[in-house]
Amino acid sequence: MTTNAADEPGAAAADGRAPASVAGSAAVESLAFDDALAELQRTVAELEEGGLPLERTLELYERGAALHARCATLLDEAELRIRRLGVGPDGIPALVDDPGDGTTWTAPQDAAAEEASR
């Protein structure tokens, strides 16, 4: 049985694209938000063009799903960081160590509403 160089793990496809195993989900986990979003946009654009073989369409769809999940995770982490930012008793923004621990600090939007009601 002979093998083609392109059949080897990590070998480039005949058209120069990285194979799915190289451009797979493992690499997605290391992407920064802007990089993941840009690649997701390119992936969607390529899918929208159409005319692709079924296997390539499936590869792009799977990659797009992984990129979408990465972007969602990074946005959730950013939201958590923002929620942890509160206003201390002195009115200066400060990190709340544990927003559920009974601290008297308020979130920035609550502080503005409280100030307006005075």
- Name the residue ranges covered by the structural domains of the chain: 5-117
What pLDDT score does 4 carry? 42
What pLDDT score does 82 carry? 82
Q: For residues 66 and 58, give the distance between their C-alpha atoms in angstroms, rounded to a whole number.
A: 12
Low-confidence stretches of the chain (pLDDT beneath 70) = 1-26, 97-118
What's the pTM value of the predicted model, to 2 decimals? 0.57
What pLDDT score does 8 carry? 38
What pLDDT score does 30 carry? 95
